[in-house]
Amino acid sequence: MSTPFPFTAVVGQDDLRLALLLNAVSPAVGGVLVRGEKGTAKSTAVRALSALLPGVDVIAGCRFSCDPAAPDPGCPDGPHEAGAGTQRPARMVELPVGASEDRLVGALDIERALAEGVKAFEPGLLADAHRGILYVDEVNLLHDHLVDLLLDAAAMGASYVEREGVSVRHAARFLLVGTMNPEEGELRPQLLDRFGLTVEVSASREPDQRVEVVRRRLAYDDDPDGFAARWGEEEAAVRARIVGARELLPSVRLGDGALRQIAATCAAFEVDGMRADIVMARTATALAAWAGRTDVLAEDVRQAALLALPHRRRRNPFDAPGLDEDKLDETLQEFGGPEDDDPDPDGPGGGGGQPSPEEGPGGGDTGARPEAGEGGEPQASGSGEQQPVRASEPFRTKALTVPGLGEGAAGRRSRARTEHGRTTGARRPQGALTKLHLAATVQAAAPHQLARGRSGPGLVVRRDDLRQATREGREGNLVLFVVDASGSMAARQRMSAVKGAVLSLLLDAYQRRDKVGLVTFRGSTAEVALPPTSSVDAAAARLESLPTGGRTPLAAGLLKAHDVLRVERLRDPARRALVVVVTDGRATGGAEPVALSSRAARLLAADGVASVVVDCESGPVRLGLAEQLAGELDGTAVTLDELRADSIAGLVRNVQGTQRTARRAA
């Protein structure tokens, strides 16, 4: 819409508004990652912030928004003379999930570069966002290489485009705001660390506040201009406060006492690296400037920790984000210096009378503390169901891959044709040329030089000669776990080991950027405990509470897996599946359980589904039922011990499995 929703009219979401304002005051804070459910005003608040930012002075005609007071000496449209320019509003540029690398960083016209020898560069979204806001909705769904490019540009303040010896660099300094729904998957820890602040948002459960949200939204939809005019005074006050805080920021003093508290807090929460200390220092300084003070107080350090540390303290993808606020307060009190004893009547929310998004003490930290132990779980009923047991410690698993060459979503598990990876050949371009195969292009053009009138040095290259490089990399798969939760698996020590193995495979799936699903079977039926998703922590939570007991309807579990794969194949045809069946191979549920299980396994094999059976049978006498099931699935079988990456027995079985895969491929 041409008239954005007023920033000061957003109801609640204090932490979100505060984090955005701090980045507006000091872009060096490093941006904001907003985690939470849909429909919680994330996009509305970001768009509203862009209308609050002061106008930007630019050099007329420069596609890279150079500042007339200090032009970029390396600007591709330059060189520019310093002097007067024109002013335009601050931009908010949105990066769609399906954007290509060329759309993000810009594209070189390779044909003109080869034929005419000119650097014809078309700027991308990073250039458009320079000195403004770059908003990435669902940042966790972006391909890894795009996120790497995005965060590198945000960290360095510049974007580099290099293609076939042609290099272009331009400034790219922007406020980076990303949003994500954790249920759709997490960002890698090293990428999480590149966002300065993080905020957890959720819809209010207070009826009065929800009523006010609806009332304001309906009023805005009926008359956007009139609604914005009614909030004009508050908007002007916040805009003026941003300008004042920017001017005050260089005068803010970060004393040794505050620095000591920052360092002690990061050490207490075992945060890796030093980026957290730097971000906390910048955030605390921005908080002081926003409050109209020139000294950083302990309250600023506390608020900075609540915004800058929750996403950095996660040790693995199954840890809940957030901070233990009691531990935070103890650390700040222990390392508080004499400088922190100076009372300040205004506190961190000084500047009374203004809309106070900064007054929230980190209320977005819902669910931050880890849950208590499982000792309070209800007792099992008399149906043979046993109380869930905890998983054993996860371990590094051997690599499980899907045979053949796929074309699915980028990941790290199985071989695939991708846009990024090692070059394996060349072909004629289909559509726009993106990756030129120079040797193949020269080879295609060379035989035609005499016919084109070229008898001396040089090469005449035409469009028909251009060749696109074909590349091979890795793809992410759908790893569907089919877990036996029957009575034969229910011994506590045994089930703990089984859950530990599945948890290890889930961690491996997270690292390899897979989707995961969970099917369980016991008693007389099978159920989809978790539909295919990118959220491995959701799968881990389902696994933790998995009950056991009853007979073993193995056929029902395999048929349920077949149904899940059929539906998922319609949704995402390019993503290949790997079925991991975790069982001891016994089939005791339903009529003719053994025969039905064999037919269900052959049905999966007929569809060409790659499968692995994790053999959970234990004891000195082994029936070999899991290996028999693997044969019917046309897959491989590994024991719990062989699943470990450092298992000698696993290495021997891996050689045998490779030979079997080669025979099947042949």
Q: How far apart are CA 308 and CA 319, in angstroms?
A: 17
Distance CA 359, CA 303 (A): 10
Residue 516 CA to residue 360 CA, distance in Å, equals 37
Which residue type does 353 have? Answer: G
Task: Note whether 10 and 1 are within 8 A (CB).
Answer: no
In 10 A of CB 459, how many CB atoms?
A: 14
275 annotated active-site: yes
617 three-class SS:
coil
Taken in order 74, 79, 80, 82, the sign of the CA dihedral is positive
Spatial distance between the Cα atoms of 577 and 566, rounded to a whole number of angstroms:
10
Coil/strand/helix, residue 93: strand
Dihedral Cα 629, 633, 639, 645, nearest 10 deg:
180
Residue with tokens 């470990």: 644
* Ranges of H-type helices in 515-592: 536-544, 554-571
Catalytic site residue from 88, 163, 275, 417: 275
Backbone dihedral region for residue 631 (phi beyond 0: left; psi -120 to 50: alpha; all else: beta): alpha
> Is 25 within 8 Å of 247 (Cβ atoms)?
no
The conformational region for residue 11 under phi > 0 = left, psi -120 to 50 = alpha, else beta, is beta
Distance CA 110, CA 149 (A): 21
Residue from 3, 31, 16 nearest 204 by CA? 16
| Vertex 483 angle, CA 555 and 186, to 5° | 135
CA–CA gap between residue 161 and residue 159 (Å, rounded): 7
Locate the DSSP E strands across 452-505.
468-475, 478-484
Q: Where are the beta strands (DSSP E) in 428-542?
A: 468-475, 478-484, 515-522, 525-533
Please give the structure tokens belonging to residue 136.
Answer: 């990435």
Q: Would you say 294 and 251 are in contact if contact means Cβ atoms under 8 Å apart?
A: yes
Give the span between the Cα atoms of 359 and 239, in whole angstroms: 18
Q: Scanning the structure block, which residue is given the tokens 């209308």?
A: 51
Catalytic annotation, residues: 275
